[in-house]
Structure 1
């Protein structure tokens, strides 16, 4: 576009009457502080700066005469520079006293990266100022210099207004308003909204929460679009002014638009409504309007939402919540890395997925910061003019920062490092629609990654969730329920197998490949034949029912790639109940047990029950480990089978004749005479039957009943027939005793089989031996009333350190003499 000529007039007002506008003619922008026109065609940050100057004037009461821009502490190369400097008064500025605010402006739209604003931070320290402000097109953060700690800043909640500097009490409140207060304030606002719905529309907690979630999604839709600013009642009034009589009410129309915006996420059904009055909607929008969700930091809104969520529902829907300290411990122990695929097939409110997302994002942010530090050092070493040096550093930082964007402004996937994490690596399902919707909102509040979360039965494949795909699985499956044989694939909304073209196209575009195609075809066939969900699982096939958490153990292992790891919360009965020894052996043949952490009873306590549970961490066998496991079984059989076969043969020898004769003298005599004629009554040798599919065990010893063998010569047939008749009569008289002896022999065989199986398992475990981390912490960061937080005792941080030592010891060869001597918390 051709550049316009520089204007020569001076605007009558520093800023136009239109809110948030600036005087701009073509590529020329009016700079009120310097009273000049500037060409901004190559300086988009100048627009950010002037908009913030207007904010300081109109919202915080500062005069233009109290400000300066592009200020350096001194002349010379690398002298710290500030975009905007504000003094307490005009006289202070003229007398060159210390300023009260230092501001740096950037064009990035992602969250503030504090170390990007090193110029303002350095200027703040060098000039004797106390507060620096970092701002970009969507976010503003305020930092206070920590007293007696040079160069260290702490985030606070507010920018002091001009009038605050003359009010010592008010100024102290502002400077002491740490950003954590913002989180509390947002949390309290959510409770206010909850109360409005309860009082006005008599909503129960669940329905009220659903309604708040819907309104938050509308707010997110409006504010993230970047077209309307903060979602306010003024915005509603502007919408109402252009509404036609035939249009939906403003709030209902906005919800319909929001449903369309999030259509691909399956958040809402076509029938979903707000079901509140316009007046109530307006009240809630008014309460929430001071928080722009696109500008509020993820740590603030995410933790506030999570706290509100847990407090509201811990009693009513406690099964959807795993205490945050436990979630953090499980994720940190498995330590997910960038590029790894992560799944929770029973995601509840999304705690595991959110923590995994945050964990990996923190790694990416740290790596981006490392690259920034390297780029800054490289550019500074070039000895460029100050403005060029700053321009190159700004450009390098801005380019690197794009890698931190999780989504496009259109809520669609974006090809950045955090975007790939959010849209390609995080997957979850929950069979309860409220929980699935909550997980999506929770994830958005924490910084996105919601696209892979679905309302669906976690035992069935959906979207990118299918067997053999994931590096990590983390879950707390439902306890105390059963999967029954009457639950069919495709038999309900949450077990549906999607067939719509948009879904199929999306799956193909995401490159899931032949594994997904096979999975989808298998489910289509299962739905067509009304296959029970149980029949999709080895431990469920042919059963009338199985406890849900047991089926989830197999589901999670199936989802993992070879070598993939999982963390699962399981009731202690699964670990120590003798009747479930088969499950433990089944799992042992498919995965290595990494760690078991027994939790205190208060960890999972609701209003009517307490479940004693443990955290179980497994690593699915690699192909090499599967081969090693099979080789161990082969070796164990080669070493042990012969010895146990001898025991079976000995037992057979002891019992065979006794069973044949019933230990009756007359029958014994008659059988001897028949044997002399060539006809024998015998108990054939034992043979091996077919072992069950699982768990691995010695094949059962099978034993038939006595049979007649041999052939009598022609000349003895008549006498043999008579003797056989007499023998049959004698044996009939002792048949019961013979049957008792046969049962005794079978019991001996069973005992030998059990000893054989036990010996095989013991030998395999010797051949396939490895250490397991076991601990039983006394405290895990949650009280008996469900409270968590910084003041609640927890052994988990020390336990994590101990596990890291254990991991290092394993990596170095697990030499017994080098076993770490770490204190593992355990019950007194």
Structure 2
């Protein structure tokens, strides 16, 4: 986008004081408070009138007095036809950027009231927030509002029925003919604001709830991107814009607006259908917006060039808007970008790597993996922008990865759709993002989606932050019985073997995702997973840690601060585990070796015989106690066991034996751990604690991010590990 402020300074149109708090309009010699949000919009409108529309400064008046009854108010800007500024041509009403749609409509009424109050007739009004623009032709005699796509340029009375064309910069200026405009590249903050305001305009009226409005906005963003990608000749208009109907064609104002909306609706639906034919998975249902609502969204986005806007900027804009929406409506806790970046940066992902996120949410991990490969492509082909041969190789390098090697699963259909949109906005990578329960088998996923890429034992890297705390219950999901971690763990110190169904009633979802990710990884593949610290520390989770040891080499454990997810709505203390999948042969050897150590200890200590002996002793003592009490009380054994005396004695006796059993078990477990350390293969584990990770508990950026330093060291550690 043009830097109008800088151009204005260079041309001597405006100047600023030392701290940029006040702006001076040089021709008029007026100073204003530039910290006022509306003043920023007014400055932009003034500069556009001079720079883009070629109006001379001397024919532009700002803060023009307007008498309205007994009051005198100020019109923001009035452009005059003549140098003596008697014949007003255009009245401009400026509002702050984040003005709501309802407030913007009020501004239209205000602009008209000013236009009608001026002593001489104004021919056009322009209402602008810098984000949204509406233009009207004024006819006092008819009191009508004929909407236009633009205002006329200096010296030209003709206004075309559309404003934005492809390749506008290559069109010659034709005397007496209107000038067309190209689409503008904008910054992240402005794009975020446009998404937010368009969304609010859709649901604020009550016709749609926020969730439905998000879906419909998603569809229109898709159409906008598709429209920009369509091949066009220089000078051809874009379809995703308001194109007006002339008064000569449809004289009635109301009917004219209906016709314009119908035409726009048909063009957008045609774009949507074209896109869906190429990619039916992104959106399966039709656009459900009424034509007038569609026009509102288009008015916020029609001038923006999404294709050329910096990838990171438009990605951040969409994620910022999407993240705030989903946190408010679904309680979804998306992984902070700093953690995503840290994880992806340390992994040696290349364009040949097959990458998966089994619970991808909005697609953050996938996007960073894609951007990592895109950066690699730029390193190999640095001159791709100027060399067509390099461009082809650069594009193929990352686009083949995006199309064939990048996979994501998200259980929520709406979030899955948003993830696909997120990828599309980043120039692709959405092809293999599917809506599915990430815990069903690969055969089930392939059968449901027809995507054969979701094959067990084929992925080089899995990068994921599974949902914490939700319980998968056997009564709800039959697949729980297929998971090893969905079964009750075997206790090698148990005296009796378990009989019957050993499936748990339920298991935490994050535990099952560890096993699912193990199945998807190929041998020596790496899993990077965010897990709650309870899995690493709670005694009840020892069976999970044991299974992780059997399946994976533990590469690294990086502890996150308690506040890592607070700003995103979750307060669970967590760590990032990096795990490399053992070969099946290695896992079998580990399991066999552990079993050998257990059997050896059981045999050496006569554990089972000792436990059986103690069980017999307990029963014998109980018999003797019953016999003793019967001689005194002359009652039955059953009645004696119900007495407080027997219960108290039995509890004390049982506690003594329980203490002996616990002590024996403790000694065996201690010796087992020592034997494991001495008999099993030893290896180094990278351990780190990150206390500062670039943002605080509120999400506000901070200067210190220890993940950057930790990441550099961990990257070296992983590269050294893989190279062996």
1:656 is displaced (CA, Å) by: 6.0
Aligned equivalent of 2:713: 802
Alignment partner of 2:533 out of 572, 579, 582:
572
Aligned equivalent of 2:301: 288
Aligned equivalent of 1:255: 269
Give the length in aligned residue pairs: 501
Q: How big is each residue's C-alpha offset from its partner over 1:767-794, in whole Å with a ceiling of 9 and x where there is no partner? A: 2322222222122122222234xx5532
After superposition, residues 489-500 of structure 1 pair within 5 angstroms as: none
Q: 1:484 to 1:651 in 2, by over 3 A?
A: closer
1:560 is displaced (CA, Å) by: 1.0
Aligned equivalent of 2:425: 445
Aligned equivalent of 1:319: 332
The separation in 1 between residues aligned to 2:677 and 2:356, in whole angstroms, is 30
1:611 is displaced (CA, Å) by: 2.0
Residue 576 of structure 2 corresponds to residue 615 of structure 1: yes
The separation in 1 between residues aligned to 2:557 and 2:167, in whole angstroms, is 43
Aligned equivalent of 2:439: 459
Aligned equivalent of 1:486: 475
Aligned equivalent of 1:352: 365
Q: 1:540 to 1:260 in 2, by over 3 A?
A: farther
Which segment drifts farther, 302-311 or 605-614?
605-614
Q: How big is each residue's C-alpha offset from its partner over 1:738-764, in whole Å with a ceiling of 9 and x where there is no partner? A: 999899778856764564355334422
Alignment partner of 1:779 out of 686, 692, 707:
692
The separation in 1 between residues aligned to 2:696 and 2:652, in whole angstroms, is 59
Q: 1:808 to 1:644 in 2, by over 3 A?
A: farther
Q: 1:609 to 1:633 in 2, by over 3 A?
A: closer
1:797 is displaced (CA, Å) by: 0.6
1:344 is displaced (CA, Å) by: 0.9
What SS class does the counterpart of residue 570 from structure 1 fall into? strand
Which segment drifts farther, 740-749 or 213-222?
740-749
Q: How big is each residue's C-alpha offset from its partner over 1:419-443, in whole Å with a ceiling of 9 and x where there is no partner? A: 3201111111111122101100111
Aligned equivalent of 1:470: 459
Question: Which protein has the larger Cα radius of gyration, Structure 1 or Structure 2?
Answer: 1
Q: Is the 8 A contact 1:429 1:456 kept in 2?
A: yes
Residue 290 of structure 2 corresponds to residue 277 of structure 1: yes
After superposition, residues 552-567 of structure 1 pair within 5 angstroms as: 552-567=513-528
Q: 1:233 to 1:318 in 2, by over 3 A?
A: same
Aligned equivalent of 1:400: 390
Q: Is the 8 A contact 1:231 1:292 kept in 2?
A: no
The separation in 2 between residues aligned to 1:235 and 1:420, in whole angstroms, is 38
The separation in 2 between residues aligned to 1:180 and 1:755, in whole angstroms, is 69
What SS class does the counterpart of residue 438 from structure 2 fall into? coil
Aligned equivalent of 1:694: none
Q: Is the 8 A contact 1:180 1:300 kept in 2?
A: no
Q: 1:639 to 1:139 in 2, by over 3 A?
A: farther
What SS class does the counterpart of residue 329 from structure 1 fall into? helix
The separation in 2 between residues aligned to 1:579 and 1:352, in whole angstroms, is 30
Aligned equivalent of 1:233: 241
Residue 338 of structure 2 corresponds to residue 329 of structure 1: no
Residue 401 of structure 2 corresponds to residue 432 of structure 1: no
Q: 1:344 to 1:265 in 2, by over 3 A?
A: farther
TM-score normalised according to structure 1 size: 0.53
After superposition, residues 732-771 of structure 1 pair within 5 angstroms as: 752=664, 755-766=667-678, 767-771=680-684
The separation in 1 between residues aligned to 2:435 and 2:237, in whole angstroms, is 31
Q: How big is each residue's C-alpha offset from its partner over 1:33-74, in whole Å with a ceiling of 9 and x where there is no partner? A: xxxxxxxxxxxxxxxxxxxxxxxxx9899xxxxxxxxxxxxx
The separation in 1 between residues aligned to 2:220 and 2:401, in whole angstroms, is 27
The separation in 1 between residues aligned to 2:400 and 2:244, in whole angstroms, is 35
Name structure 1 gaps, 5 residues minimum.
Answer: 1-57, 62-136, 141-157, 163-178, 374-392, 406-415, 489-531, 668-728, 814-828
What SS class does the counterpart of residue 323 from structure 2 fall into? helix
Q: RMSD value over aligned CA atoms?
A: 4.4
The separation in 1 between residues aligned to 2:215 and 2:369, in whole angstroms, is 25
The separation in 1 between residues aligned to 2:587 and 2:166, in whole angstroms, is 52
What SS class does the counterpart of residue 434 from structure 2 fall into? strand
The separation in 1 between residues aligned to 2:531 and 2:693, in whole angstroms, is 16
1:644 is displaced (CA, Å) by: 2.3
What SS class does the counterpart of residue 793 from structure 1 fall into? strand
1:181 is displaced (CA, Å) by: 5.9
The separation in 2 between residues aligned to 1:182 and 1:664, in whole angstroms, is 87
After superposition, residues 658-697 of structure 1 pair within 5 angstroms as: none
Alignment partner of 2:191 out of 169, 174, 186:
186
